[in-house]
Every structure is written in C-alpha cells, then in structure tokens.
Structure 1
C-alpha cells in the first residue's frame, strides 16, 4: 500500500473503516452515569472512577486510548507494552525480558535503551525522568486500574508535546476497587513464576491500597534470567467534602540478564542463543586475533534497577473551581553491565518535582466554557559513572559526569461549546528543558537549553448521542534526553537540536448498535527528528543519536469492536466479541541529502491485532492473532528489512466461585520464528551488524486468583 504522496490515501482508507471501529481504543460502551461517592468503584477527588475517566477523555478532540486492567490481565502481561497491545498507533516489541521498545506514531523509532518519545506517568506524576528517558519496566501491570493514552500533543497538560504523547497509569485505591484481599499466583514456560498480593480498605475518611509482586523467570534465551520485586501503595485522606489528599509510595528492584543481539540468520534459527564475542583480526594469515568483547555471558551483561518514589496529590474543590496540586521525590540506582567498549554504567539519580492546576467552568459570551491552567517543574541530578567491565566485575573508574536536568511546563486550555453539539478546544503550552553535563573525569562537558511555545486547536462535533467527529492541529516539541547527548557515558557529549513537528489529525469515535469504533488519521511534518544509529559490530558497541533534517510521519489508527449475534447470544447468557486494532505507518525522509525519500527504519508499515472471545458469566475463551505482513527496515539506506510474521494466542478463564478464578494463556501457538526487535543502523549492507533480537517461541502460562 503506497500512502507516501499525501494524506488523501489515508483519509480514503479511514473512511472505509468508520462503520466497523471502536471507541476510546478498548471495548467502549456508552458512558454510564457516575455512581455516588463512597461506593466501591465510584472513585474520589484524587482517584477518578472508570466512568469519570472515560467521560473526561471523550472531551478531547484528538487521538486517545483507554485501557482497563481487565483487558490485559487474562494474558501474561509483564510490561507496559503488553498492556497497550490493542491501542491503535502503538507498536511494542521486546528487546529483553521485561523490557519493551514502545513507539507511538513513530516516536523514538529505535532508541536503543532508556526509551524516549513517550511521557509515562503514574497517577499524574511522571515516571519519565527529568532527563527525558523512561524505564518502562518501572511499571507493574498488576498494579494498574486503567491507563489513559494521549496521543501526540493531546497530552500537553502532562508536559507531553512529543510525537508519541503521554500514557497516564492510574492505580487502584481503596475507593475504586472492592475492599478486601486478593492473592494471584502464576506459573509457566521457562520456569516463570509470579505472585501478587493486593489489599484494599476504605473507611469514612481514610482509604488505602497496597500491592506487592514478585516475578522470577529463566527467560526464553540463554542468559536472560529475571528477578523482580515491586511494591506500591497509596493512602487517601478525605479532610472534608471539598478537600482530599493522597500519598503514594513505590519501591522497585528489577534485575535481568542481557543476552545481546544476534545476526539475522542466528536470530531466526537459534533464538535461545546469546550474542557472539567480538573478534578483531587476523588482518593477515597467521596474524594476531583480539577478542574485543567476550560476550554477554563472560562479561555478565545485565541491567539492575532500584527505584524508590514518594508522591502526593491534593485536590480542593470550591464553587466552580478545582485546585489540583502535588509533589514527588524519587531515587533511582542503575547498575548496567554491558560490552567492554561501553563498560559498566553506574548511575545514582535523585529527582523532585511539583505541579499545580486550576480548572473550572464559566461562560464566555453566554457560551459554556471549561478551562484549565497549570504548571509543573521537575529537576533530576545524576551521578553518572562508567567502569571497566572485567569479566563481569567492576574495574577501574573510566568516566564520571555530574548531570543536571530541568523541565518547566506552563499550559492552559479552553473548551468552548459554541453549539450544543460543537466545541472549540484551544490550548497553549510553554516547555523549557535544560540538560547540563559537568565533566568530572575523562568526559566532555556540555549544556543545551531548548524552549518552545506549542499551540493546539481542535474541533469536537457530537454528531449523535454516541458518535463524535474531531479535527485538530498542533505543534510538537521534544528536547533530546541526557542519554541521547552522552550515549550513556560511552561517547563524548554531543549537542543535539530539539525535535519539532506540526501535526494535523482528523478522526471519529463512537458506537452504533453492535459496533464501536475509534479511527484517526494524521500527518506530521518533522524537523530535526532524533534517529538512533548502532555503530558497526556485534550488538553495536554503542548506539548514538543524530538529528535528521526533514521527515514525514503519517498514518492510520483504527480500532473496532463487533458484538456478534448480540441479541441471540444474550438470551443464552453468552457474548461473542470480535476486537480489532489496525495501525498503518508511513514514515519517510523528506528529500534528505543522504537518504532521499527512503523509509525510516525501526517499525513495520502495518500491524494488525485481533481477538475473538466467547464469554459467559462463569467462563470465557478467546483466540488472538498478531499480524505483521512485512517487518521494518533495519537501516536508513533501506537495504534490508526483517521478515513478517503471524502469532496466534489463546486464553481461557473460569470463575470457580465468587472468590476463586482460574485462567490460562498460550502465546505463539505455532512456534513461529521471528525477529522481535532491531537496532537501527545507517547501511546494513555495508556494516553487517548483529542487530537482531529473536522473539519468544511457544509458551504457556496459568494461574489462580483468590479474593476475600
């Protein structure tokens, strides 16, 4: 399918899907009336209920997504990417056990580690660091109540103006879930074991929630063992009918081994293999041979992360105005053993931040007006060191850098209902980011300061009770992360420009009879897009980031649900749902001096995910498919791309009693060999780098949940 010449082709394709799509990205039905406060599931001022969150998202004239925990807990979801499988526009793959590369609308096409391009928050507080990078494994799917996805500049109130936008992970509280205790135990392939204990309680003024998860797995490759412990809790205090304050605590210890990247042939034929040692020479017959990198096992490649985070959010409602304010503090320790060239990366980082937001309702020229004004600021200080990697042991200190990152965001938004069925939404964001790298030992000092105003204008038309049409235009802005500027300490500080973009988006969402849909098409004109290149060699000795000139990202995001034979099956106590998500990507250079109009490497052109599920009050059975017709290009010269693949899955569940449930899932039933992740390079025909990560083979998981 050729969509390069203009967005017109995308519009035609989107129009053909409107009658069979889905609302808000996930199993959307009409918004139900919000129940009164105090009842389990009703939410509170600091913790909106599912219904309240959906209603808020419906007022956004742009691409959004909404994911309930029930949509992914049937499968063995280990990471953030696993929870977003049915969100159109997102491509998530696996680079290591528990580690995803997540790209939304082509954001962070292949940031090699410490991902960028997507702002991730927990209950409105950033998990994405002040330095601009995100460790997606800082999130435990079993602690999630629901997720809100704000594509592109639709997430500007969260400080997101990047191409990818923002994902806000909303956790359970004592007022949004049933009180009591639940125990979940799972086991499966590769000696995988996971256990979770959750407690919830709510009184008249105080409520609390606590969840603890332990995960162990040998991994599907050699040298890919995982050992993870996660603790999260929150306590809410309702000081009056108008005032509530909630305190959050997170503690994480996540360790996993790295098997490294392989050659294309090995990745497809021997997916359990680890990366081969890097050998230099001989340069003449009988000449010397140098083992530059003994490989992941000998050097114990791994990534060990510890995080402690405290946060508070306080909401006060008076008259027609609400004040939402809070603060957070976190500590992050990283011990990351990698190649001899990169060494052992050792980071100790502290971060703090504050935010404040006023929102309310009023009138403008006798027309209803909803408005928001807010600001947030955060700062991170990182003691960044690298050591020699001596067969997995920490050797001499090689480099040391004191890194300081700061971000300031000020934003405002007005939603003016000019007619009963038509709203104009205008927003403006000011974002300033600074990155200061102070060289202490064998490093290069440098500083960048990027700032920009980002406007957004949209129209939202309520075409019918359950049908919306929207259009918006926005300006995007993404400063480079500290990792982009320093390559994790492996390379000297390199000044990069901020990535900028203008985006036009049109779409529709809604529900008609047995059909619900969410369809959007967009086109982004980018300047200085940040692209990642792996240096030649096994696994790439190091990846570095560079700015492109002009690039284009355009695409189609279509999701649809169909309730098959709804009336007939309801009489039998059954429901048959066909769920679909289609993503079409067309990303390319715009008359580049080196790459002309080549496609951008990193993500496939088409991704289709589908599930057919039969449900009963006591049981369910579903079969799913993930189809990538042709894999992505691995290089910007477009000399090689990975093969396409089709993965089949199965999940089953049985509600044994009110307090006991059983569930099971199977992944890659046909045991297909495929490539899950790549490191992008300039020209693979010249470099012949080992840049391929194999996907998981056939796997089975099962579990039991006990609640009281």
Structure 2
C-alpha cells in the first residue's frame, strides 16, 4: 500500500482551494438558492435549520433534512423510526430497543452489525462514531435532536466523513434557538412506556436547556426487556456580538436483554420466541455512556466564520453474547474512550465559497473477553487493548461561474491508524479523495445536480484482520475504495390554492475495490470473519415525493401524500468465488409511504405502507429472505400548545424478518433471523409550555 506523508496529504487537499476565493455554506444564501426538500416542515425556523438548508441546496447530490418537530407526531424510539422517510437508507429495528441496523448506499452489507460501520454519526459536527469508524456501542437518541442532516455516500465530504455510506449529523435543540419547554409521554404495545421532559431558559447572554428521559419496554419477543434513562443538557454563552460558545452534556444508562437469533423453522413456529441460548446465557447489551463537548463559533465578519469543537465520550459495555457450554461462552466487558475535535473555516469572496475543515479523533478500547456462567464465575481468556486514530482534512469550493450554474469541487485527505495489541496487528491507511460536481438552477425552487467522487473507507478494529480462507495469518485487510457517479433533481412547485408538491430524486453507480465484507463465524457464533472482495458494484435509485393538495372549495381539508422509494442493485463483479452474485442484507426494493388527510383544526388521519423486497442472507445466494408488505394507520390532533397522536403498525399482524446475520453459505438450521414487529399500537401526547 502506497502511503504518502501527512504533509503531502495536506498539500493535496488544500491545493484545489488555494486557486479560488470562496464563501461558507451556512452564511446567508443567495436569492437563486433552491428551497430545499425537507421530510416534514416545522412550525418555526431557527438559525441551525437555515444553515442546514443552505448546505443541502449547495450539495450536488443526495442530502436529506429531518425536522425533529415532525417526529413528535408519531412513535419514534430508534433511528429506524427516525430515518423512515430518508431514501437510500435501509434502516431496520428488531432485537434491541434503541439500536437499528443501518445501511446507506450498500454500506455494512455483512449485516452481522457487530460494529455498525459505514455511516459516520455526529452531534453538532463532533464525532459520536469512534475513530475507527465503528458505532458498536452507540446510536443517537432521535428525540434528543432538533434536526438531523443525512448526507448519503460521498455527499458527506463537507462533514469530513471517510465512509461508504456517508454521515448523519444530529443538531441539538437550544433555548437560544427557541426550543420549547415540553413534556412528551408515550404508551404502547409490548409494555412500552416513555417520558421526556425538556426545560430551557435564557437570561441575557446565557441560555440553558435540560432534557430528562426514561423508557421501559418489555418487548415483543421473550427476553427483550429494556430499561433506559438519559439526560441531555447544553448551555450557551454569548461572548460578544460575534463569538458564542456552548457546552453539551449527555448521560445514558441502558440495560437491554437480547432475545438472540432464530432458525427458519423456529421463526415459522413462533417468531416471538427467544433463542434458547440467549435465555440460558442471559444475553444482554448494557451500556453506560457519558459525553462532554464544547463548540465555539466566531463570526469574523459578514463573509467569514470559524468554528472549533472538542468532545470526550466514555462507554462501558457489559455484553454476554454467546453461551454454548461446555464448548464456548463469550462475555465482552470493555471501556471505550473517544476524544474528538473539529475545526471549520468558511469564507465568501465574490462568486466563490470556500470551506476548509479538520476532524481528528482517537479511540481506545480496554477490557477483556470472558468465558462465563450466568450469575457465576467469569474467566478472562483474551485481553482487549485496542487503539485507533483518525485525521480527516477536507476542502471545497462552490463557484457560481455563470447565472444559475454552480461548480462544486474539492477533496478530502484521510490518515487513520489501527492497532490490536493482543494480536500484534498495527497498520495505517492514507488516501486523498477528490470530488467534482455541478448544480444547474432550473428555477428558484428546482435544480438538477451531478457529481463524480471517490469513496474510501478503512477497516474498523472489528474487521482489521484478514480472514480469507487459506490466506497468510495476521494480515491486515486493505481499505475499500472506488468511484461513484451520481445525477439527480430536487425541488418543489406551487400549484395554486396553497397546493404544492416536492421531489428529491438521485441515481448513482459505484464501482468498489476491496470491499470489506464480514460474515458470522459458524465455529464461534457471535464473532465474525472478514475479507476483501475483489470488485463489487453498488448502484441505486433514491426518490422522495410528497405534496399537499386542497380538497373542495373551502380549503379546510387537505390531502398530504409522502413516499420514499429506494431501489438497490448491489452485487459482486466477476468474483472468483461468488461470480456476479447479489450482495446480501439490503432489499432490492424498499417503499415507505403514507397518505394523510389534514383538517385546518389540526386533526390528521391516514394509512401508512411498507413494501420491502427480497434479500439474500449469504454471499452464495442460497438462502433467501422473502419480502413483505405492512399496513398501518396514523392519526393525531395538533393544538396551539399541545399534540396527541395514535399509531397502529402492521395491522394484518404479518410475520416478517427485520434483519439477520450473514453467512458465507447459510443453512436452514442456522440461527440468523431477527423477527420484525408484530401488530402494535402506540399513543402519545405532547404539551408545550
């Protein structure tokens, strides 16, 4: 592997921008800028949302903006619920209350989900994902975010993400931006009880906001109980007319039983049962997390801005996951610590906009793997002492070189290291990843876009060792890399009488080399084996279409359709072992839709629809998981300072598989399946004060 020096990397990433003068995306947008496609609208605006909208409109590729206000009108407990209407993402919940299996543009297709790689998670621009790219112990509570921006694939360059799937940045609500005091309550099937209280205040140059949350969940399967408490707080200080700083604090205690996986016959007999070993071994996923972060923003003048951030996060994981006495049992007991920092400088000069950024993170994981007896002895058989660091430098110029035309070009340089002390493995991965794109403004509210980009992702600590059958021992995996071309359109159009429709469509084609793929180790369930595939193809169509249309002459009734469609084509390309087989885990088709009728009084009601296509559970394409169709209903009523909602899911009580582990060649007796949610009902209320 050729490894340029850090100095060369920095020079390469800064060179394109040294030729141009520029302005930052979050600064006030030009009059020709597109009004962005938002998943649902909020009753108020704020500066954070305006910055995200500007960023979306000046990105020549797939970016979605999620409004946290809309999440209050339905049952949202994990990222699968939050990301329901984001095209291009396959998000599935199931075995645990908080976590979800996430795949963006074909990332994480091994579906073992031990590390949850492929998508970089950030809060307020600072990392939540560990320095090696894993989300093993952590996902963000969706109700703790005011907004979220989802940049798919290489469109996450402005976030500095070196991942196949892109990045999701969660923006925290603040009292300064007008986040309301509120009480949220939710009850539902399977023993779900959730409450969230938010209180905020401003006093002169100071503001503060605190959110306390608790959740209890019995689960729709045996041995699936969850107990979680969380505290989110932030405080800001206006240091002058141009400088502000904010401190963020997160504390989460989560205890979660795991029901394990089922064979096909067990799933057919009773999809709500637990795996016998999960009950006997008392499988759990208990995580204690605290996070402290600071972000300071200096508006240097009307055309330039500098932001600096620091974060520290500590996670304690207690995770009994395998119990097969007398042969093998596995309990993971580790502490993961991540320190991160970011810097972003933005400047506007003439028809150019410049963005320079830096992300740095370092993660340590210490502890051990233990054999255990539930409630009894624990014997450590492996020491865990792992290290990872990551430096991402990125630069971009957005040049309005002609009326209604914008060229977007730049590059990212990444240098990241991995070390497994116990195995004596240590390696470094360096790359420069350029990007060029074009935006054509067709109208004030409509645009076409295209881009050509390089994607690059190094292996996580969980995938570092090459386990290719017959390969040399203690060998590092290579990073995966490739080229993606993308074209699309987005916009909205007014049709009179307040009617409007909106669209966001993207098509992409990616050729990858050395894609990192993992599958369950059949000789040690709960662990994985990783390889580099020679050549693979990731292609797809992503579409979000919605609108609002008046019924009758009075204008009191409106119909609001919304549909998110994803078509996936992920396959091996002339592979020596797998030929042109399909890659597993992600469905060929995923459609999420709803059709709501709204009255001017605030009442709404309508059906929801989920159509999911077939998936393969192995690289050999011998084990197929069938697709499914689910129906539901949503209703609610929104007042001036209150909201209530009711939601029914899977009304036909259709048995279906949410997600599964992947094998090289899966057999009918392999326990790999996770059941999806049966018929369920939820009610919730919100009071703002």
Q: TM-score, normalised by structure 2?
A: 0.89
Q: Give the Cα separation in 1 of the matches to 2:48 and 2:44.
A: 6
Q: Give the Cα separation in 2 of the matches to 1:49 and 1:689.
A: 48
Per mean C-alpha deviation after superposition, the further-off stretch among 390-399 and 663-672 is: 390-399
Q: Give the Cα separation in 2 of the matches to 1:412 and 1:398.
A: 46
Instruction: Spell out, residue by residue over 1:95-132, the C-alpha distance to the aligned partner (whole angstroms, 9 max, x if none).
Output: 41222101011111114223000001111111101132
Given the alignment, which residue of 348, 351, 364 partners 2:335? 348
User: Residues 68 and 562 (structure 1 numbering): CA distance in 2 closer, same or farther, change over 3 Å?
Assistant: same
Q: Which residue of 2 aligns with 1:313?
A: 295
SS in 1 for 2:421: strand
Q: Give the Cα separation in 2 of the matches to 1:207 and 1:569.
A: 46
CA offset at residue 25 of structure 1? 5.6
Q: Which residue of 2 aligns with 1:645?
A: 628
Q: Give the Cα separation in 2 of the matches to 1:136 and 1:611.
A: 32
CA offset at residue 268 of structure 1? 3.5
CA offset at residue 191 of structure 1? 1.2
Per mean C-alpha deviation after superposition, the further-off stretch among 203-212 and 167-176 is: 203-212
Q: Which residue of 2 aligns with 1:65?
A: 64
Q: Give the Cα separation in 1 of the matches to 2:343 and 2:80.
A: 30
Q: Give the Cα separation in 2 of the matches to 1:553 and 1:636.
A: 15
Note the 1:173-212 alignment, pairs <5 A: 173-179=174-180, 181-212=181-212
Note the 1:401-416 alignment, pairs <5 A: 401-416=384-399
Q: Give the Cα separation in 1 of the matches to 2:376 and 2:333.
A: 12
Q: Give the Cα separation in 2 of the matches to 1:101 and 1:435.
A: 24
Q: Which residue of 1 aligns with 2:13?
A: none
Tell whether 2:301 aligns with 1:302.
Answer: no
Instruction: Verify the 8 A CA contact 2:201 2:207 in the aligned structure 1.
Output: yes
Instruction: Verify the 8 A CA contact 2:161 2:392 in the aligned structure 1.
Output: no
Note the 1:600-615 alignment, pairs <5 A: 600-615=583-598
User: Residues 344 and 403 (structure 1 numbering): CA distance in 2 closer, same or farther, change over 3 Å?
Assistant: same
Q: Give the Cα separation in 2 of the matches to 1:615 and 1:622.
A: 9
Matched pairs, number: 637
Q: Give the Cα separation in 2 of the matches to 1:178 and 1:156.
A: 29
Q: Give the Cα separation in 2 of the matches to 1:402 and 1:345.
A: 13
Instruction: Verify the 8 A CA contact 2:637 2:644 in the aligned structure 1.
Output: yes
CA offset at residue 701 of structure 1? 1.0
Instruction: Verify the 8 A CA contact 2:560 2:597 in the aligned structure 1.
Output: yes
CA offset at residue 401 of structure 1? 2.6
Instruction: Verify the 8 A CA contact 1:220 1:696 in the aligned structure 2.
Output: yes
CA offset at residue 273 of structure 1? 0.8
Instruction: Verify the 8 A CA contact 1:338 1:389 in the aligned structure 2.
Output: no
CA offset at residue 176 of structure 1? 2.5
CA offset at residue 589 of structure 1? 0.4
Instruction: Spell out, residue by residue over 1:135-179, the C-alpha distance to the aligned partner (whole angstroms, 9 max, x if none).
Output: 475322221111101111111232313221000011211122344
Q: Which residue of 1 aligns with 2:145?
A: 144
- In structure 2, stretches of 5+ residues that fail to align are 1-34, 467-472, 495-499
SS in 2 for 1:424: strand
SS in 2 for 1:429: strand
User: Residues 394 and 602 (structure 1 numbering): CA distance in 2 closer, same or farther, change over 3 Å?
Assistant: farther
Tell whether 2:121 aligns with 1:120.
Answer: yes
Q: Give the Cα separation in 2 of the matches to 1:42 and 1:28.
A: 9
Tell whether 2:530 aligns with 1:545.
Answer: yes
Q: Which residue of 2 aligns with 1:532?
A: 518
User: Residues 173 and 266 (structure 1 numbering): CA distance in 2 closer, same or farther, change over 3 Å?
Assistant: same
User: Residues 541 and 659 (structure 1 numbering): CA distance in 2 closer, same or farther, change over 3 Å?
Assistant: closer
Q: Which residue of 2 aligns with 1:167?
A: 168
Given the alignment, which residue of 619, 629, 632 partners 2:603? 619
Instruction: Verify the 8 A CA contact 1:637 1:682 in the aligned structure 2.
Output: yes
Q: Which residue of 2 aligns with 1:261?
A: 261
CA offset at residue 562 of structure 1? 2.8
Q: Which residue of 2 aligns with 1:462?
A: 441
Q: Which residue of 2 aligns with 1:49?
A: 48
Q: Which residue of 2 aligns with 1:361?
A: 348
User: Residues 665 and 406 (structure 1 numbering): CA distance in 2 closer, same or farther, change over 3 Å?
Assistant: same
CA offset at residue 582 of structure 1? 0.6
User: Residues 466 and 498 (structure 1 numbering): CA distance in 2 closer, same or farther, change over 3 Å?
Assistant: same
Instruction: Spell out, residue by residue over 1:397-432, the C-alpha distance to the aligned partner (whole angstroms, 9 max, x if none).
Output: 111132111000111100010012001111111001
Q: Give the Cα separation in 2 of the matches to 1:434 and 1:569.
A: 63
Instruction: Verify the 8 A CA contact 1:664 1:702 in the aligned structure 2.
Output: yes
Note the 1:81-120 alignment, pairs <5 A: 81-97=80-96, 98-109=98-109, 110-120=111-121
Off by >4 Å, runs of 4+ in structure 1: none
CA offset at residue 555 of structure 1? 0.4
Q: Give the Cα separation in 2 of the matches to 1:313 and 1:321.
A: 17
Q: Give the Cα separation in 2 of the matches to 1:537 and 1:410.
A: 41
Q: Give the Cα separation in 2 of the matches to 1:571 and 1:485.
A: 63
Instruction: Spell out, residue by residue over 1:244-282, the C-alpha distance to the aligned partner (whole angstroms, 9 max, x if none).
Output: 111101111111111111011222341111114xxxxxx
User: Residues 318 and 359 (structure 1 numbering): CA distance in 2 closer, same or farther, change over 3 Å?
Assistant: same
Q: Give the Cα separation in 1 of the matches to 2:370 and 2:335.
A: 14
Instruction: Verify the 8 A CA contact 1:25 1:559 in the aligned structure 2.
Output: no
Q: Which residue of 2 aligns with 1:665?
A: 647
Q: Give the Cα separation in 1 of the matches to 2:489 and 2:681.
A: 38
- Root-mean-square deviation (CA), in Å? 2.1
CA offset at residue 661 of structure 1? 2.6
Instruction: Verify the 8 A CA contact 1:93 1:102 in the aligned structure 2.
Output: yes
CA offset at residue 75 of structure 1? 2.2
CA offset at residue 94 of structure 1? 2.0
Q: Give the Cα separation in 2 of the matches to 1:659 and 1:644.
A: 41
Per mean C-alpha deviation after superposition, the further-off stretch among 119-128 and 51-60 is: 51-60
Instruction: Spell out, residue by residue over 1:555-596, the C-alpha distance to the aligned partner (whole angstroms, 9 max, x if none).
Output: 0001101323x3x45833232100001100000000000010
Instruction: Spell out, residue by residue over 1:303-345, the C-alpha distance to the aligned partner (whole angstroms, 9 max, x if none).
Output: 1111110111101112322111111111111111111335110
CA offset at residue 214 of structure 1? 0.5
Q: Give the Cα separation in 2 of the matches to 1:254 and 1:203.
A: 34
Note the 1:547-562 alignment, pairs <5 A: 547-562=532-547
- In structure 1, stretches of 5+ residues that fail to align are 1-21, 30-39, 277-294
SS in 2 for 1:166: strand
CA offset at residue 485 of structure 1? 2.6
